[in-house]
Amino acid sequence: MESIKKRIGNLSMFRKIFFTLVFLMAVVCIIYLMNLQHLVEQYNTRLYQVTARSLRTATSSMEEELRKIATLSTDTAMDKVIQGKIPIMKDMEQTSKQGTARREIYETMYQYYYRNEYVTSIALYLDDTVIRMGEKDSISDSEYENLREKAVEAQGRIVWQYDESNANKIACVRQVREAKDLRLTDLGILFIYVDLESLVIDCLDEAGYSEEEGEFALFDSQDTTIYTQRDVSDDLYQKIVRHEDNSYLIEKVGDTEEFIISGQMFNGNNWKYVYFQDYNQLFEKMNQIKVTTVLITVLVCVLAVMAAQIVLSSIFRHMDFLIEKIEAFGSGKAIDSRKFPNYSERGDEIGKLHQAFDEMTYSVKRLRDENYDKQILLREAEIKMLEQQINPHFLYNTLDSINWMAQCYHADDISQMARSLGNIFRISISEKRELILLDEELSLLDNYIQIQKIRFKDKLEFQIIKPDGMDELYIPKLCIQPLVENALKYALECNDEVCVIQVLIKKEEKYYRIQISNTGSEFDQDLLEKLKQHIVIPQGTGVGIMNIDSRLRLIYGTDYGLRFRNEDGKAIVELRIPFAKSGKAERDEGNAAFNDCG
Protein backbone atom coordinates (compact mmCIF):
# COMPACT_ATOMS: atom_id res chain seq x y z
CA MET A 1 0.00 0.00 0.00
CA GLU A 2 2.83 2.38 0.91
CA SER A 3 4.63 1.61 -2.37
CA ILE A 4 1.44 2.41 -4.32
CA LYS A 5 1.03 5.71 -2.46
CA LYS A 6 4.69 6.49 -3.13
CA ARG A 7 4.33 5.77 -6.84
CA ILE A 8 1.22 7.91 -7.06
CA GLY A 9 2.98 10.69 -5.12
CA ASN A 10 5.92 10.58 -7.55
CA LEU A 11 3.70 11.03 -10.60
CA SER A 12 3.88 14.37 -12.32
CA MET A 13 1.06 16.86 -11.79
CA PHE A 14 0.08 16.44 -15.44
CA ARG A 15 -0.36 12.67 -15.02
CA LYS A 16 -2.26 13.04 -11.75
CA ILE A 17 -4.79 15.46 -13.24
CA PHE A 18 -4.99 13.51 -16.53
CA PHE A 19 -5.58 10.16 -14.82
CA THR A 20 -8.12 11.76 -12.49
CA LEU A 21 -10.08 13.09 -15.48
CA VAL A 22 -9.89 9.71 -17.23
CA PHE A 23 -11.10 7.97 -14.06
CA LEU A 24 -14.03 10.37 -13.68
CA MET A 25 -15.00 9.92 -17.33
CA ALA A 26 -14.80 6.14 -16.91
CA VAL A 27 -17.08 6.34 -13.87
CA VAL A 28 -19.56 8.52 -15.78
CA CYS A 29 -19.51 6.07 -18.71
CA ILE A 30 -20.09 3.09 -16.43
CA ILE A 31 -23.01 4.82 -14.70
CA TYR A 32 -24.43 5.85 -18.09
CA LEU A 33 -24.17 2.29 -19.45
CA MET A 34 -25.74 0.90 -16.28
CA ASN A 35 -28.64 3.31 -16.73
CA LEU A 36 -28.89 2.29 -20.37
CA GLN A 37 -29.02 -1.36 -19.33
CA HIS A 38 -31.68 -0.53 -16.77
CA LEU A 39 -33.62 1.26 -19.50
CA VAL A 40 -33.42 -1.84 -21.71
CA GLU A 41 -34.67 -4.00 -18.86
CA GLN A 42 -37.55 -1.61 -18.29
CA TYR A 43 -38.30 -1.73 -21.99
CA ASN A 44 -38.28 -5.55 -21.85
CA THR A 45 -40.71 -5.48 -18.95
CA ARG A 46 -42.97 -3.02 -20.74
CA LEU A 47 -42.81 -5.11 -23.91
CA TYR A 48 -43.77 -8.17 -21.90
CA GLN A 49 -46.73 -6.36 -20.38
CA VAL A 50 -48.01 -5.22 -23.78
CA THR A 51 -47.34 -8.58 -25.44
CA ALA A 52 -48.84 -10.55 -22.55
CA ARG A 53 -51.96 -8.38 -22.68
CA SER A 54 -52.31 -8.99 -26.41
CA LEU A 55 -51.66 -12.70 -25.96
CA ARG A 56 -54.27 -12.79 -23.25
CA THR A 57 -56.71 -11.32 -25.74
CA ALA A 58 -55.75 -13.99 -28.28
CA THR A 59 -56.00 -16.86 -25.78
CA SER A 60 -59.33 -15.52 -24.55
CA SER A 61 -60.58 -15.75 -28.14
CA MET A 62 -59.27 -19.31 -28.30
CA GLU A 63 -60.99 -20.16 -25.04
CA GLU A 64 -64.24 -18.67 -26.36
CA GLU A 65 -64.05 -20.69 -29.57
CA LEU A 66 -63.32 -23.86 -27.61
CA ARG A 67 -66.32 -23.14 -25.35
CA LYS A 68 -68.48 -22.71 -28.45
CA ILE A 69 -67.30 -26.08 -29.71
CA ALA A 70 -67.97 -27.60 -26.29
CA THR A 71 -71.48 -26.07 -26.39
CA LEU A 72 -71.89 -27.41 -29.92
CA SER A 73 -71.05 -30.92 -28.72
CA THR A 74 -73.56 -30.56 -25.86
CA ASP A 75 -76.29 -29.35 -28.21
CA THR A 76 -75.56 -32.15 -30.62
CA ALA A 77 -75.59 -34.83 -27.93
CA MET A 78 -78.82 -33.48 -26.41
CA ASP A 79 -80.66 -32.92 -29.71
CA LYS A 80 -84.13 -34.52 -29.57
CA VAL A 81 -83.84 -36.08 -33.02
CA ILE A 82 -80.50 -37.64 -32.21
CA GLN A 83 -81.71 -38.71 -28.75
CA GLY A 84 -84.84 -40.25 -30.33
CA LYS A 85 -83.25 -41.98 -33.32
CA ILE A 86 -80.20 -43.51 -31.67
CA PRO A 87 -82.31 -46.12 -29.80
CA ILE A 88 -83.87 -47.10 -33.12
CA MET A 89 -80.41 -47.44 -34.67
CA LYS A 90 -79.39 -49.70 -31.84
CA ASP A 91 -82.61 -51.78 -31.77
CA MET A 92 -82.03 -54.80 -34.03
CA GLU A 93 -85.79 -55.49 -34.19
CA GLN A 94 -86.46 -52.21 -35.97
CA THR A 95 -84.16 -52.72 -38.94
CA SER A 96 -86.78 -51.33 -41.33
CA LYS A 97 -86.73 -48.03 -39.55
CA GLN A 98 -82.97 -47.79 -39.12
CA GLY A 99 -82.37 -46.31 -42.56
CA THR A 100 -84.81 -43.51 -41.94
CA ALA A 101 -83.39 -42.92 -38.47
CA ARG A 102 -79.86 -42.79 -39.84
CA ARG A 103 -80.87 -40.22 -42.46
CA GLU A 104 -82.59 -38.04 -39.88
CA ILE A 105 -79.55 -38.21 -37.55
CA TYR A 106 -77.31 -37.28 -40.47
CA GLU A 107 -79.45 -34.30 -41.44
CA THR A 108 -79.51 -33.10 -37.86
CA MET A 109 -75.71 -33.40 -37.55
CA TYR A 110 -75.49 -31.46 -40.81
CA GLN A 111 -76.99 -28.43 -39.09
CA TYR A 112 -74.49 -28.54 -36.27
CA TYR A 113 -71.59 -29.15 -38.61
CA TYR A 114 -71.97 -25.71 -40.23
CA ARG A 115 -72.59 -23.89 -36.97
CA ASN A 116 -68.83 -23.45 -36.29
CA GLU A 117 -66.27 -22.70 -38.96
CA TYR A 118 -63.46 -24.55 -37.23
CA VAL A 119 -65.30 -27.88 -37.07
CA THR A 120 -63.91 -30.18 -39.76
CA SER A 121 -66.09 -33.19 -39.03
CA ILE A 122 -68.68 -34.67 -36.64
CA ALA A 123 -68.79 -38.41 -36.07
CA LEU A 124 -71.25 -40.41 -33.97
CA TYR A 125 -70.12 -43.92 -33.03
CA LEU A 126 -73.00 -46.31 -32.28
CA ASP A 127 -71.33 -49.65 -31.57
CA ASP A 128 -70.49 -50.91 -35.05
CA THR A 129 -72.19 -48.03 -36.85
CA VAL A 130 -70.52 -44.68 -37.54
CA ILE A 131 -72.46 -41.66 -38.76
CA ARG A 132 -70.02 -39.03 -39.99
CA MET A 133 -70.48 -35.49 -41.33
CA GLY A 134 -67.60 -33.63 -42.96
CA GLU A 135 -64.02 -34.81 -43.49
CA LYS A 136 -63.18 -38.39 -42.84
CA ASP A 137 -61.14 -38.54 -39.66
CA SER A 138 -60.52 -42.19 -39.07
CA ILE A 139 -59.13 -43.61 -35.87
CA SER A 140 -57.92 -47.09 -35.10
CA ASP A 141 -59.90 -49.54 -33.02
CA SER A 142 -57.42 -49.24 -30.16
CA GLU A 143 -57.63 -45.45 -30.19
CA TYR A 144 -61.44 -45.62 -30.30
CA GLU A 145 -61.52 -47.97 -27.30
CA ASN A 146 -59.16 -45.69 -25.41
CA LEU A 147 -61.28 -42.62 -26.16
CA ARG A 148 -64.47 -44.50 -25.37
CA GLU A 149 -63.12 -45.46 -21.95
CA LYS A 150 -62.20 -41.81 -21.25
CA ALA A 151 -65.60 -40.56 -22.41
CA VAL A 152 -67.49 -43.13 -20.34
CA GLU A 153 -65.31 -42.29 -17.34
CA ALA A 154 -66.11 -38.58 -17.86
CA GLN A 155 -69.85 -39.43 -17.69
CA GLY A 156 -70.98 -36.99 -20.32
CA ARG A 157 -68.35 -34.34 -19.74
CA ILE A 158 -66.06 -33.21 -22.54
CA VAL A 159 -62.73 -34.89 -23.20
CA TRP A 160 -60.29 -33.01 -25.44
CA GLN A 161 -58.06 -35.33 -27.40
CA TYR A 162 -55.33 -34.21 -29.74
CA ASP A 163 -53.89 -36.27 -32.53
CA GLU A 164 -50.15 -36.84 -32.06
CA SER A 165 -49.83 -37.67 -35.74
CA ASN A 166 -51.57 -34.47 -36.77
CA ALA A 167 -50.82 -31.50 -34.50
CA ASN A 168 -53.13 -29.28 -36.54
CA LYS A 169 -56.33 -30.90 -35.25
CA ILE A 170 -57.97 -31.66 -31.92
CA ALA A 171 -61.02 -33.74 -31.11
CA CYS A 172 -63.82 -32.87 -28.69
CA VAL A 173 -65.06 -36.27 -27.42
CA ARG A 174 -68.02 -36.96 -25.13
CA GLN A 175 -70.42 -39.75 -24.23
CA VAL A 176 -73.98 -39.36 -25.58
CA ARG A 177 -76.28 -40.36 -22.73
CA GLU A 178 -80.06 -40.90 -22.89
CA ALA A 179 -81.80 -37.86 -21.45
CA LYS A 180 -85.33 -39.32 -21.48
CA ASP A 181 -86.57 -39.83 -17.97
CA LEU A 182 -82.93 -39.15 -16.89
CA ARG A 183 -82.03 -42.71 -17.72
CA LEU A 184 -78.50 -41.63 -18.68
CA THR A 185 -77.86 -44.87 -20.47
CA ASP A 186 -74.96 -45.00 -22.90
CA LEU A 187 -76.19 -44.25 -26.44
CA GLY A 188 -72.85 -43.68 -28.19
CA ILE A 189 -69.69 -41.59 -28.47
CA LEU A 190 -69.71 -38.19 -30.22
CA PHE A 191 -66.51 -36.95 -31.92
CA ILE A 192 -66.19 -33.32 -33.10
CA TYR A 193 -62.88 -32.67 -34.89
CA VAL A 194 -61.59 -29.10 -34.83
CA ASP A 195 -59.04 -27.37 -37.10
CA LEU A 196 -56.86 -26.13 -34.22
CA GLU A 197 -54.26 -24.51 -36.49
CA SER A 198 -56.82 -22.26 -38.16
CA LEU A 199 -58.36 -21.41 -34.81
CA VAL A 200 -55.00 -20.39 -33.31
CA ILE A 201 -53.88 -18.40 -36.36
CA ASP A 202 -57.18 -16.52 -36.62
CA CYS A 203 -57.16 -15.63 -32.92
CA LEU A 204 -53.58 -14.42 -33.12
CA ASP A 205 -54.36 -12.39 -36.21
CA GLU A 206 -57.29 -10.75 -34.46
CA ALA A 207 -54.91 -9.81 -31.58
CA GLY A 208 -52.45 -8.30 -34.03
CA TYR A 209 -49.95 -11.16 -34.37
CA SER A 210 -48.76 -12.81 -37.54
CA GLU A 211 -46.86 -16.00 -38.19
CA GLU A 212 -43.83 -13.96 -39.29
CA GLU A 213 -43.60 -12.18 -35.93
CA GLY A 214 -43.65 -15.20 -33.62
CA GLU A 215 -44.56 -18.81 -32.96
CA PHE A 216 -47.24 -20.24 -30.67
CA ALA A 217 -47.45 -23.53 -28.75
CA LEU A 218 -50.06 -25.19 -26.49
CA PHE A 219 -49.44 -27.80 -23.79
CA ASP A 220 -51.86 -29.72 -21.63
CA SER A 221 -51.76 -30.15 -17.87
CA GLN A 222 -49.44 -33.16 -18.32
CA ASP A 223 -46.95 -30.97 -20.23
CA THR A 224 -47.72 -32.80 -23.45
CA THR A 225 -47.74 -30.81 -26.66
CA ILE A 226 -51.24 -30.10 -27.97
CA TYR A 227 -50.32 -27.67 -30.71
CA THR A 228 -47.07 -26.06 -31.77
CA GLN A 229 -45.73 -24.02 -34.63
CA ARG A 230 -42.19 -25.08 -33.75
CA ASP A 231 -40.38 -27.90 -31.95
CA VAL A 232 -39.90 -27.25 -28.22
CA SER A 233 -37.44 -29.52 -26.43
CA ASP A 234 -38.26 -30.88 -23.00
CA ASP A 235 -35.34 -29.02 -21.44
CA LEU A 236 -36.46 -25.71 -22.92
CA TYR A 237 -40.06 -26.31 -21.87
CA GLN A 238 -39.04 -27.12 -18.30
CA LYS A 239 -36.93 -23.99 -18.18
CA ILE A 240 -39.90 -21.96 -19.45
CA VAL A 241 -42.16 -23.46 -16.79
CA ARG A 242 -39.65 -22.72 -14.03
CA HIS A 243 -39.46 -19.08 -15.16
CA GLU A 244 -43.17 -18.69 -15.53
CA ASP A 245 -43.42 -16.45 -12.47
CA ASN A 246 -40.70 -14.18 -13.82
CA SER A 247 -43.03 -12.92 -16.54
CA TYR A 248 -40.69 -13.45 -19.47
CA LEU A 249 -37.55 -15.26 -20.48
CA ILE A 250 -34.81 -14.37 -22.93
CA GLU A 251 -33.17 -17.61 -24.02
CA LYS A 252 -30.70 -18.71 -26.69
CA VAL A 253 -32.41 -21.33 -28.86
CA GLY A 254 -30.06 -22.66 -31.51
CA ASP A 255 -28.60 -19.66 -33.28
CA THR A 256 -31.49 -17.38 -32.35
CA GLU A 257 -32.10 -15.44 -29.16
CA GLU A 258 -35.77 -15.77 -28.28
CA PHE A 259 -38.11 -13.53 -26.27
CA ILE A 260 -40.42 -16.10 -24.61
CA ILE A 261 -43.76 -15.40 -22.88
CA SER A 262 -45.76 -18.13 -21.17
CA GLY A 263 -49.19 -18.29 -19.51
CA GLN A 264 -52.20 -20.43 -18.75
CA MET A 265 -55.53 -20.82 -20.54
CA PHE A 266 -58.55 -20.91 -18.25
CA ASN A 267 -60.70 -23.26 -20.29
CA GLY A 268 -61.19 -25.84 -17.54
CA ASN A 269 -58.27 -27.97 -18.76
CA ASN A 270 -55.31 -25.97 -17.39
CA TRP A 271 -53.66 -25.69 -20.75
CA LYS A 272 -50.44 -23.72 -20.98
CA TYR A 273 -49.35 -21.55 -23.86
CA VAL A 274 -45.90 -20.35 -24.91
CA TYR A 275 -45.17 -17.60 -27.39
CA PHE A 276 -41.79 -17.19 -29.08
CA GLN A 277 -40.48 -14.02 -30.72
CA ASP A 278 -37.08 -13.36 -32.28
CA TYR A 279 -35.44 -11.09 -29.71
CA ASN A 280 -32.93 -9.63 -32.15
CA GLN A 281 -35.63 -8.84 -34.68
CA LEU A 282 -37.93 -7.54 -31.96
CA PHE A 283 -35.24 -5.31 -30.50
CA GLU A 284 -33.48 -4.49 -33.73
CA LYS A 285 -34.14 -0.76 -33.41
CA MET A 286 -33.42 -0.85 -29.70
CA ASN A 287 -30.14 -2.69 -30.28
CA GLN A 288 -29.20 -0.23 -32.98
CA ILE A 289 -29.88 2.65 -30.61
CA LYS A 290 -27.95 0.88 -27.85
CA VAL A 291 -24.92 0.17 -30.05
CA THR A 292 -25.03 3.68 -31.49
CA THR A 293 -25.24 5.17 -28.01
CA VAL A 294 -22.30 3.08 -26.77
CA LEU A 295 -20.19 4.00 -29.81
CA ILE A 296 -21.02 7.68 -29.44
CA THR A 297 -20.22 7.51 -25.72
CA VAL A 298 -16.86 5.85 -26.40
CA LEU A 299 -16.10 8.34 -29.16
CA VAL A 300 -17.01 11.28 -26.92
CA CYS A 301 -14.82 9.87 -24.14
CA VAL A 302 -11.88 9.40 -26.51
CA LEU A 303 -12.32 12.93 -27.86
CA ALA A 304 -12.64 14.25 -24.30
CA VAL A 305 -9.45 12.45 -23.25
CA MET A 306 -7.62 13.82 -26.29
CA ALA A 307 -8.94 17.32 -25.62
CA ALA A 308 -7.95 17.05 -21.94
CA GLN A 309 -4.48 15.89 -22.91
CA ILE A 310 -4.07 18.79 -25.35
CA VAL A 311 -5.34 21.37 -22.85
CA LEU A 312 -3.28 19.98 -19.96
CA SER A 313 -0.19 19.71 -22.17
CA SER A 314 -0.55 23.35 -23.21
CA ILE A 315 -0.85 24.36 -19.53
CA PHE A 316 1.92 22.19 -18.10
CA ARG A 317 4.26 23.02 -20.98
CA HIS A 318 4.71 26.41 -19.36
CA MET A 319 5.24 24.72 -15.99
CA ASP A 320 7.98 22.63 -17.61
CA PHE A 321 9.55 25.85 -18.88
CA LEU A 322 9.52 27.20 -15.33
CA ILE A 323 11.12 23.99 -13.98
CA GLU A 324 13.77 24.21 -16.71
CA LYS A 325 14.51 27.81 -15.65
CA ILE A 326 14.75 26.78 -11.98
CA GLU A 327 17.09 23.87 -12.76
CA ALA A 328 19.31 26.08 -14.93
CA PHE A 329 19.40 28.76 -12.23
CA GLY A 330 20.13 26.20 -9.52
CA SER A 331 23.04 24.68 -11.47
CA GLY A 332 24.51 28.11 -12.19
CA LYS A 333 23.89 27.96 -15.94
CA ALA A 334 22.78 31.00 -17.89
CA ILE A 335 19.06 31.08 -18.72
CA ASP A 336 18.51 31.59 -22.44
CA SER A 337 15.33 33.69 -22.57
CA ARG A 338 15.07 33.13 -26.33
CA LYS A 339 13.97 29.52 -25.71
CA PHE A 340 10.91 30.58 -23.71
CA PRO A 341 7.80 32.64 -24.54
CA ASN A 342 7.46 36.20 -23.28
CA TYR A 343 5.45 36.14 -20.05
CA SER A 344 5.74 39.82 -19.19
CA GLU A 345 2.22 40.64 -20.46
CA ARG A 346 0.51 37.42 -19.41
CA GLY A 347 -1.94 37.97 -16.53
CA ASP A 348 -2.87 34.42 -15.46
CA GLU A 349 -1.23 32.34 -12.70
CA ILE A 350 1.39 30.91 -15.06
CA GLY A 351 2.38 34.38 -16.24
CA LYS A 352 2.64 35.62 -12.65
CA LEU A 353 4.82 32.66 -11.68
CA HIS A 354 7.23 33.29 -14.56
CA GLN A 355 7.29 37.02 -13.88
CA ALA A 356 8.02 36.46 -10.17
CA PHE A 357 10.79 33.99 -10.98
CA ASP A 358 12.36 36.31 -13.57
CA GLU A 359 12.31 39.18 -11.07
CA MET A 360 13.83 36.95 -8.40
CA THR A 361 16.66 35.78 -10.66
CA TYR A 362 17.39 39.39 -11.65
CA SER A 363 17.55 40.43 -8.00
CA VAL A 364 19.77 37.48 -7.09
CA LYS A 365 22.16 38.20 -9.96
CA ARG A 366 22.37 41.84 -8.97
CA LEU A 367 23.08 41.00 -5.33
CA ARG A 368 25.60 38.38 -6.36
CA ASP A 369 27.46 40.83 -8.59
CA GLU A 370 27.47 43.46 -5.83
CA ASN A 371 28.72 41.10 -3.13
CA TYR A 372 31.11 38.98 -5.15
CA ASP A 373 34.23 41.00 -4.36
CA LYS A 374 33.19 41.44 -0.73
CA GLN A 375 32.79 37.70 -0.28
CA ILE A 376 36.20 36.96 -1.77
CA LEU A 377 37.91 39.54 0.47
CA LEU A 378 36.02 38.26 3.51
CA ARG A 379 37.01 34.68 2.77
CA GLU A 380 40.71 35.54 2.44
CA ALA A 381 40.64 37.69 5.58
CA GLU A 382 39.01 34.92 7.57
CA ILE A 383 41.64 32.41 6.46
CA LYS A 384 44.49 34.79 7.31
CA MET A 385 42.95 35.50 10.70
CA LEU A 386 42.73 31.81 11.51
CA GLU A 387 46.36 31.34 10.51
CA GLN A 388 47.44 34.19 12.78
CA GLN A 389 45.62 32.56 15.70
CA ILE A 390 47.63 29.39 15.23
CA ASN A 391 51.17 30.92 15.01
CA PRO A 392 51.39 32.68 18.41
CA HIS A 393 49.82 29.74 20.13
CA PHE A 394 52.43 27.39 18.76
CA LEU A 395 55.28 29.82 19.49
CA TYR A 396 54.31 30.14 23.14
CA ASN A 397 54.17 26.38 23.61
CA THR A 398 57.60 25.92 22.03
CA LEU A 399 59.26 28.64 24.11
CA ASP A 400 57.72 27.10 27.17
CA SER A 401 59.27 23.76 26.27
CA ILE A 402 62.70 25.36 25.76
CA ASN A 403 62.48 27.07 29.10
CA TRP A 404 61.52 23.83 30.81
CA MET A 405 64.41 21.97 29.21
CA ALA A 406 66.92 24.67 30.13
CA GLN A 407 65.92 24.44 33.77
CA CYS A 408 66.00 20.66 33.91
CA TYR A 409 69.08 19.87 31.88
CA HIS A 410 71.25 22.94 32.44
CA ALA A 411 71.17 23.98 28.74
CA ASP A 412 71.86 20.52 27.22
CA ASP A 413 70.46 20.07 23.68
CA ILE A 414 69.48 23.76 23.58
CA SER A 415 71.32 24.14 20.28
CA GLN A 416 69.27 21.33 18.74
CA MET A 417 66.03 22.81 20.00
CA ALA A 418 66.97 26.26 18.76
CA ARG A 419 67.75 24.98 15.26
CA SER A 420 64.47 23.09 15.12
CA LEU A 421 62.59 26.09 16.39
CA GLY A 422 64.18 28.29 13.78
CA ASN A 423 63.12 25.93 11.01
CA ILE A 424 59.61 25.98 12.31
CA PHE A 425 59.54 29.77 12.37
CA ARG A 426 60.76 29.95 8.79
CA ILE A 427 57.96 27.68 7.53
CA SER A 428 55.10 28.85 9.68
CA ILE A 429 55.73 32.57 10.00
CA SER A 430 57.84 33.60 7.00
CA GLU A 431 56.00 31.45 4.40
CA LYS A 432 52.95 33.37 3.04
CA ARG A 433 51.49 30.66 0.84
CA GLU A 434 48.15 29.10 1.79
CA LEU A 435 48.96 25.68 0.29
CA ILE A 436 52.37 24.05 0.71
CA LEU A 437 53.83 20.74 -0.38
CA LEU A 438 53.19 17.75 1.85
CA ASP A 439 56.95 17.32 2.30
CA GLU A 440 57.24 20.86 3.64
CA GLU A 441 54.46 20.22 6.18
CA LEU A 442 56.13 16.96 7.20
CA SER A 443 59.50 18.77 7.54
CA LEU A 444 57.88 21.26 9.92
CA LEU A 445 56.36 18.33 11.82
CA ASP A 446 59.77 16.59 11.99
CA ASN A 447 61.38 19.68 13.58
CA TYR A 448 58.56 19.80 16.10
CA ILE A 449 58.97 16.09 16.92
CA GLN A 450 62.75 16.55 17.39
CA ILE A 451 62.03 19.14 20.04
CA GLN A 452 59.42 16.91 21.73
CA LYS A 453 61.70 13.86 21.69
CA ILE A 454 64.33 15.84 23.59
CA ARG A 455 61.60 16.55 26.13
CA PHE A 456 59.91 13.14 26.39
CA LYS A 457 62.81 10.86 25.27
CA ASP A 458 61.78 7.18 25.26
CA LYS A 459 58.21 7.90 26.24
CA LEU A 460 57.47 9.05 22.65
CA GLU A 461 57.37 6.81 19.57
CA PHE A 462 56.56 8.60 16.33
CA GLN A 463 55.85 7.07 12.90
CA ILE A 464 55.10 8.54 9.45
CA ILE A 465 53.67 6.18 6.82
CA LYS A 466 53.65 7.80 3.41
CA PRO A 467 53.42 5.93 0.09
CA ASP A 468 55.49 6.95 -2.91
CA GLY A 469 54.08 9.39 -5.48
CA MET A 470 53.09 12.10 -3.01
CA ASP A 471 55.72 14.64 -4.02
CA GLU A 472 53.24 16.95 -5.75
CA LEU A 473 50.53 16.81 -3.05
CA TYR A 474 49.67 20.29 -1.71
CA ILE A 475 47.93 20.68 1.62
CA PRO A 476 46.91 23.68 3.79
CA LYS A 477 49.82 24.94 5.90
CA LEU A 478 49.92 23.88 9.56
CA CYS A 479 47.11 21.31 9.33
CA ILE A 480 49.05 18.29 10.69
CA GLN A 481 51.43 19.69 13.35
CA PRO A 482 48.70 21.12 15.64
CA LEU A 483 46.94 17.75 15.63
CA VAL A 484 50.17 15.95 16.63
CA GLU A 485 50.71 18.58 19.32
CA ASN A 486 47.18 17.91 20.61
CA ALA A 487 47.97 14.18 20.81
CA LEU A 488 51.18 14.87 22.78
CA LYS A 489 49.42 17.15 25.22
CA TYR A 490 46.69 14.71 26.21
CA ALA A 491 48.65 11.45 25.83
CA LEU A 492 52.03 12.29 27.42
CA GLU A 493 51.89 15.27 29.74
CA CYS A 494 49.62 13.50 32.23
CA ASN A 495 50.71 9.92 31.52
CA ASP A 496 53.89 7.98 32.31
CA GLU A 497 53.32 5.26 29.71
CA VAL A 498 54.90 5.21 26.26
CA CYS A 499 52.86 7.10 23.68
CA VAL A 500 52.80 5.93 20.06
CA ILE A 501 51.85 8.60 17.55
CA GLN A 502 51.35 7.62 13.92
CA VAL A 503 50.76 9.78 10.85
CA LEU A 504 49.25 7.70 8.02
CA ILE A 505 48.90 9.19 4.54
CA LYS A 506 46.88 7.14 2.02
CA LYS A 507 45.43 7.67 -1.44
CA GLU A 508 41.77 6.73 -1.67
CA GLU A 509 39.45 6.58 -4.71
CA LYS A 510 38.52 10.28 -4.75
CA TYR A 511 40.75 11.94 -2.13
CA TYR A 512 43.91 11.70 -0.02
CA ARG A 513 43.37 10.66 3.60
CA ILE A 514 45.70 11.92 6.36
CA GLN A 515 45.16 10.14 9.67
CA ILE A 516 46.85 11.01 13.01
CA SER A 517 46.42 8.40 15.76
CA ASN A 518 47.86 8.14 19.27
CA THR A 519 47.70 5.85 22.25
CA GLY A 520 47.08 6.96 25.81
CA SER A 521 44.03 9.18 25.29
CA GLU A 522 40.61 9.24 23.65
CA PHE A 523 38.28 11.88 22.22
CA ASP A 524 34.99 12.93 23.72
CA GLN A 525 32.00 11.92 21.66
CA ASP A 526 31.05 14.68 19.18
CA LEU A 527 34.10 16.67 20.32
CA LEU A 528 34.07 19.19 17.48
CA GLU A 529 30.36 19.93 17.91
CA LYS A 530 30.84 20.40 21.65
CA LEU A 531 33.71 22.85 21.01
CA LYS A 532 31.55 24.82 18.57
CA GLN A 533 28.65 24.98 21.02
CA HIS A 534 31.03 25.78 23.94
CA ILE A 535 29.89 22.67 25.81
CA VAL A 536 33.62 21.83 26.10
CA ILE A 537 35.88 24.79 26.85
CA PRO A 538 38.99 24.62 24.62
CA GLN A 539 42.31 24.34 26.41
CA GLY A 540 45.55 24.71 24.60
CA THR A 541 45.01 23.32 21.09
CA GLY A 542 41.22 23.33 21.29
CA VAL A 543 41.26 26.59 19.35
CA GLY A 544 43.73 25.06 16.90
CA ILE A 545 41.42 22.13 16.16
CA MET A 546 38.51 24.46 15.43
CA ASN A 547 40.72 26.64 13.21
CA ILE A 548 41.95 23.67 11.19
CA ASP A 549 38.40 22.40 10.69
CA SER A 550 37.21 25.86 9.59
CA ARG A 551 40.13 26.33 7.20
CA LEU A 552 39.51 22.94 5.53
CA ARG A 553 35.83 23.71 5.07
CA LEU A 554 36.54 27.18 3.66
CA ILE A 555 39.19 25.94 1.22
CA TYR A 556 37.60 22.65 0.05
CA GLY A 557 33.95 22.94 0.97
CA THR A 558 31.58 21.79 3.70
CA ASP A 559 32.11 18.10 2.89
CA TYR A 560 35.71 18.37 4.13
CA GLY A 561 36.85 18.93 7.70
CA LEU A 562 38.15 17.03 10.70
CA ARG A 563 36.70 13.69 11.77
CA PHE A 564 37.32 12.21 15.25
CA ARG A 565 36.89 8.65 16.49
CA ASN A 566 38.26 6.17 19.03
CA GLU A 567 39.32 2.77 17.71
CA ASP A 568 41.32 -0.13 19.19
CA GLY A 569 42.46 1.97 22.16
CA LYS A 570 43.64 4.84 19.96
CA ALA A 571 42.37 8.38 19.50
CA ILE A 572 42.19 9.03 15.74
CA VAL A 573 41.68 12.32 13.93
CA GLU A 574 41.40 12.34 10.15
CA LEU A 575 41.38 14.97 7.42
CA ARG A 576 40.89 14.57 3.67
CA ILE A 577 42.43 16.43 0.73
CA PRO A 578 40.46 16.20 -2.56
CA PHE A 579 42.27 15.45 -5.80
CA ALA A 580 41.18 18.84 -7.23
CA LYS A 581 43.67 20.63 -4.94
CA SER A 582 46.48 18.10 -5.10
CA GLY A 583 48.39 19.27 -8.18
CA LYS A 584 50.63 22.23 -8.74
CA ALA A 585 48.45 23.67 -11.47
CA GLU A 586 45.41 23.65 -9.22
CA ARG A 587 47.46 25.14 -6.42
CA ASP A 588 48.68 27.98 -8.59
CA GLU A 589 45.17 28.74 -9.80
CA GLY A 590 43.89 28.77 -6.21
CA ASN A 591 46.66 31.09 -5.03
CA ALA A 592 46.18 33.34 -8.01
CA ALA A 593 42.51 33.69 -7.10
CA PHE A 594 43.37 34.63 -3.52
CA ASN A 595 46.07 37.04 -4.57
CA ASP A 596 43.88 38.75 -7.12
CA CYS A 597 41.25 39.37 -4.49
CA GLY A 598 43.71 40.74 -1.95
Q: pLDDT tens-digit profile of 571-591?
A: 999 999 888 544 443 434 333
Angle at 30 between CA 27 and CA 36, to 5 degrees: 140
**Residue 268 banded pLDDT, cuts 50, 70, 90:** low
Examine the pLDDT at 246 and tell me if it is beyond 60: no
Q: How far apart are CA 451 and CA 437, in angstroms?
A: 22
- Identify the three-state secondary structure at position 517: strand
Examine the pLDDT at 278 and tell me if it is beyond 60: yes
Q: How far apart are CA 425 and CA 362, in angstroms?
A: 49
Q: Domains (ranges, CATH) in the chain?
A: 27-282 (3.30.450.20), 393-597 (3.30.565.10)
Distance of CA 554 to the CA centre of its chain: 53
- Comparing 23-37, 87-101, 378-392, the range with the smallest average pLDDT is 378-392
Query: What pLDDT, on a 0 to 100 scale, did the predictor assign at position 588?
Result: 41
- Helix 438-456 with 414-425: angle, nearest 10 deg: 150
Query: What pLDDT, on a 0 to 100 scale, did the predictor assign at position 368?
Result: 74
- Dihedrals φ, ψ of 562, to 5°? -85, 145
Pair 343, 354: CB distance under 8 Å? yes
Where is mean pLDDT largest: 165-169, 176-180, 339-343? 176-180
What is each CA distance from 43 to 30, 50, 283, in whole angstroms?
20, 10, 10
Examine the pLDDT at 361 and tell me if it is beyond 90: no
Pair 277, 214: CB distance under 8 Å? yes
Pair 297, 33: CB distance under 8 Å? yes
Examine the pLDDT at 416 and tell me if it is beyond 60: yes
- Identify the three-state secondary structure at position 119: strand
* Alpha helix stretches (DSSP H) within 190-278: 196-206, 234-242
**Residue 53 banded pLDDT, cuts 50, 70, 90:** confident
- Dihedrals φ, ψ of 526, to 5°? 55, 50
Q: Per residue in 111-124, pLDDT tens? A: 888 888 889 888 88
Q: Per residue in 460-499, pLDDT tens? A: 899 999 988 887 888 888 889 889 988 888 887 767 788 9
- Tell me the average pLDDT across 384-390: 61
Length of the chain: 598
pTM for this structure? 0.45
Q: How far apart are CA 380 and CA 559, in angstroms?
A: 19
**Residue 95 banded pLDDT, cuts 50, 70, 90:** confident
Buried b (16+ CB within 10 A) or exposed e, 285-301: eeeeebeeeeeebeeeb
- Dihedrals φ, ψ of 185, to 5°? -75, 155
- Identify the three-state secondary structure at position 107: helix
Query: What pLDDT, on a 0 to 100 scale, did the predictor assign at position 270?
Result: 75
Mean pLDDT estimate for the chain: 77
- Percent of the chain predicted with pLDDT > 90: 5
**Residue 517 banded pLDDT, cuts 50, 70, 90:** very high
